[in-house]
Structure 1
């Protein structure tokens, strides 16, 4: 895992990290609002291992789990298919065994009770009981699109209850530094607000809602 990915992961416990990361990316980088966590409180950060499925074939998902390094986040481009699940209990257990950090699916998930019980962070655009079938097709670690945003292998994924943000790999280190600056400014602004001295963002450090 890169230093930037590890640094962002370390900031997850503060909460709402995706909001600050988006601010650091000039208020961008977020996938569409259709991406939601399967269970409340889910969050993850790590380098992207990308998956491009073929139809309802989920073979590439299993290939990606087998190839991914510990701490990785799978990002699955299923071309917006929402009537078929590309993730479930079997893939969750396999991902946990590989010590992956989470998965983001532009498509469906199933076995949500098991996923919630196992505590694996899953973000998806649909829930459906229909499962895909393995047919040996699809691709791993290729450029994809997810939620209207291009994702490349090695980009940094940050996800929490606010949604999912993609940090391009070449911007990861500078984004981490920017996030740290924004968090410090945010804490100062919160302290002022608690004293009744709230002010709107002025376009300088600490931009926030």
Structure 2
């Protein structure tokens, strides 16, 4: 886990971190709106371990969990399959045992009540009771497409109730610096707004002076 990931994770408690990260990525970087948390309040920051599934085969998901280090997020590209789940309570417990911090699925999840009770952040585009089947096919740690965004192994993902944002590996340091600057600018803008002063348009908070 990188220093940038640690630093971003420390900012999660301030809320709406994905919005700041998206702004730092020139108001981009977010997965499609269909990628939503399966329980309210879920949030994470972690480095991607990617999975490309084959049909309804979820074997590669278990392979990815075993390959992932602590602090990782499993990111699953199911090619739009939503009639079979690629994540559930068993994968959640296996991921938690290895110190993973989240899962993002362009596809379906199940066991959402159990996942919520366990408090493990899972974001998906669908929910179904049907489980995927093992078949020994699929790929781990290859570029994938999830929620309309390309995700590569090692990219940093940030998730909260607004959605999921992807920070490319080569832009992590730049984004962290911009997020910190935006947080200070917003603090000043909000103070001015609370005093009844005119607030600048969102995204122009840096123009507010002390």
TM bracket (short chain): over 0.9
CA positional deviation for 1:196 = 1.2
1:168 aligned partner: 168
Distance (whole Å) between structure 1 residues aligned to residue 110 and residue 190 of structure 2: 39
1:60 aligned partner: 60
CA positional deviation for 1:202 = 7.1
Determine if contact 1:183/1:206 at 8 Å carries over to the other structure. Answer: no
Residue-by-residue CA offset, 1:27-46 (whole Å, 9 max, x unaligned): 00000000110111000001
Consecutive unaligned residues of structure 2, counting only runs of 5 or more, are: none
Consecutive unaligned residues of structure 1, counting only runs of 5 or more, are: none
1:32 aligned partner: 32
SS in 2 for 1:158: strand
Q: Give the 3 Å change call, closer, same or farther, for CA 109–201 of structure 1 in structure 2.
A: same
Task: Spell out structure 1 runs of 4+ moving beyond 4 A.
Answer: none
SS in 1 for 2:150: strand
Q: TM-score, normalised by structure 2?
A: 0.96
Q: Give the 3 Å change call, closer, same or farther, for CA 202–105 of structure 1 in structure 2.
A: closer
1:109 aligned partner: 109
Distance (whole Å) between structure 2 residues aligned to residue 78 and residue 198 of structure 1: 47
Determine if contact 2:102/2:122 at 8 Å carries over to the other structure. Answer: yes
The alignment yields a C-alpha RMSD, in angstroms, of 1.2
Determine if contact 1:181/1:205 at 8 Å carries over to the other structure. Answer: no
Aligned residues: 207
